Amino acid sequence: QVQLVESGGGLVQAGGSLRLSCAASGSIFSIKAMGWYRQAPGKQRELVATISGGNTNYADSVKGRFTISRDNAKNTVYLQVNSLKPEDTAVYYCNALLLAHRVNQLRSYWGQGTQVTVSS
């Protein structure tokens, strides 16, 4: 059993910042990658940022503004979001690609999501 729990969302004015957190827990053997995705009303879910080992990548729309990081000891991934724009408003979802105990196949898990609302 694996759970991902996001936190840190909220309401912020344009230009403001937030730090989102996602903690993974349960029967985890190893985590290959973690990432953040977001979904705005009427839009498809889109990739925001991923981290795997020392490698990170970002959507073009957030490069230079968002930073993804991990605390491996805590199985936690963070997303520092700066210089927020109204178009960043969305539910932000945490994702983990991992191996659970006694499972040979990598599987993808999702958190419940945390709302980020940016006012103009």
Confidence grade of residue 1 (pLDDT, cut at 50, 70, 90)? confident
Average the pLDDT over 89-101 and give the result.
Answer: 97
Average per-residue pLDDT in the chain?
Answer: 96
Phi, psi (rounded to 5 degrees) for 88: -80, -10
Note the pLDDT tens digit of each residue in 55-83: 999 999 999 999 999 999 999 999 999 99
DSSP 43: S
Average the pLDDT over 22-33 and give the result.
Answer: 96
Residue 48 CA: distances (Å) to CA of 38, 53, 92, 115: 7, 17, 9, 14
Six-digit token string for 58: 């970002």
Whole-angstrom distance, CA of residue 29 vs CA of residue 61: 33
Q: Is the pLDDT of residue 54 over 90?
A: no
